[in-house]
Structure 1
């Protein structure tokens, strides 16, 4: 393990690219490895065992590519597998956490809405967040089936996406929410449409930048930060169809990027 090794990042699909953007901004000298498990997205309707199996297999793949740290850029995978991953692998493993704390500090109405998958909202991690901050603010959890699929299809602003978002966002506003937490890494790609629906008086928060800062701190502690003078690159894999992934990655990354097929041995079973 040395500072020149890359950082591994994975998600159930392309949503973790929102986290990868922030990592690239915070750590321009790092080489980044990204795996989109799009063949199995969304994780929100999968069993915990399935998500654990996928998370272990993908982490093993990233370790085989000499990753010096792993970022689980998926709230659902964090809730289902982070304890297992940290017990099996010795490198720094950074997890996602819905930005409930900053939302509770930001809210003036005392009501915040959390948009997430049903599995994230039911996870021990979220239950602990609710217990920690629920005394100070009213926390409204809103499961959002269908949104991950819209992002995976590259539909960030179409009629179907808008209808789904209105179904999930408007009831939160009616109950007084003035701050919305994006509790899934796919959702930041829908933030412009969410802000349009919610209006200028509502703050929309996600945790990607905080995760990038935490990653930097963890690498500093173990002296694994890359030389800041160099320019890092990105290597990407998908378990989905590469020909479909290429334009989607380009759309979300806002640049052409090479995407390879994830080896089939990096698997897991339901």
Structure 2
């Protein structure tokens, strides 16, 4: 087939030097190009996901076992073996939603409202309207969880940048990367806890608490050589402010739905 001729680069038509050439020196296109078949898909799975020294599993393993060194490597430019943070957080946010639906049979935003709803008509009308609006917002969040997560990341990065501004030289875009990877950690913990949901209820709350602990430990590793106490109280302050800000954003959305409705 013409699309798989390997004498020239299929992308820019530059001649392939010899059979040892792996990438076109002009545009970076892999050469030779391979037809998509089962062998190709298996090779892609092995090298992009399962490979021991690079890929998704490698990045997740390093993020959970060596978070401080991984964060330093990424910020300082040693990123060759790492998967892009946006890919990791999109993948893990989808995993959290899927696992919740498959294992718990419900949504992760349902926790804490079942007993309130059981009170039924005993609640004031405004409270019932608030619950209905909350359900509407919750349904949107669960249907667009990756987008919702990405919407909160700039706020989280801004909070950490402001709290740590006089403590570190990280700029705002660098904090965007750091907070993205720290959020991935929480999603990994959450995904594991969902698997034992039957024995550990309130997995979302527990994942949040463990995620905060992991974030503090990771940043203490990241700021190696700096006073642990100073890193710890700044982390706690930043997490507290972000928790309030994210909760306020959800409440504002609920009130807006009530107002429109």
* Shorter-chain TM-score range: under 0.3
Largest Rg, 1 or 2: 2
Q: Comparing both structures, which one devotes a greater share of its residues to helix?
A: 2
Q: Please state which structure has a larger fraction of its residues in strand.
A: 1
Instruction: With the length of structure 2 as denominator, give the TM-score of the two structures.
Output: 0.28
